[in-house]
Amino acid sequence: MSPLVAATDAHARADSPALRLVDVQEADPAVMAEADVTAWEIALDRIELDVMRGERNLARGLEFRTDPWDLPDDDIGPLPPQLVDRAAGIHRRQHALIEKMSRTLHHTLRQQAVAEAASRDHGAAAYPVYVDVAI
Number of domains in the chain: 1
Of the chain, the percentage scoring pLDDT greater than 90 comes to: 36
Q: How confident is the model at residue 95 (pLDDT cuts 50, 70, 90)?
A: very high
With respect to residue 92, please indicate whether it lies within any of the assigned structural domains: yes
With respect to residue 16, please indicate whether it lies within any of the assigned structural domains: yes
Domain that holds residue 80: 3-97
With respect to residue 30, please indicate whether it lies within any of the assigned structural domains: yes
With respect to residue 109, please indicate whether it lies within any of the assigned structural domains: no
User: What value does the mean pLDDT of the chain take?
Assistant: 76
Question: What average pLDDT does range 103-129 have in this prediction?
Answer: 80
Q: How far apart are CA 88 and CA 82, in angstroms?
A: 11
Q: How far apart are CA 84 and CA 19, in angstroms?
A: 13
Question: What average pLDDT does range 24-33 have in this prediction?
Answer: 56
With respect to residue 77, please indicate whether it lies within any of the assigned structural domains: yes
What is the separation of C-alpha 116 from the centre of its chain, rounded to a whole number of angstroms?
29
With respect to residue 56, please indicate whether it lies within any of the assigned structural domains: yes
pLDDT for res 26: 55
Q: What is the pTM of this model?
A: 0.60
With respect to residue 74, please indicate whether it lies within any of the assigned structural domains: yes
With respect to residue 33, please indicate whether it lies within any of the assigned structural domains: yes
| Helix extents (H) in the chain | 3-8, 29-33, 37-60, 84-121
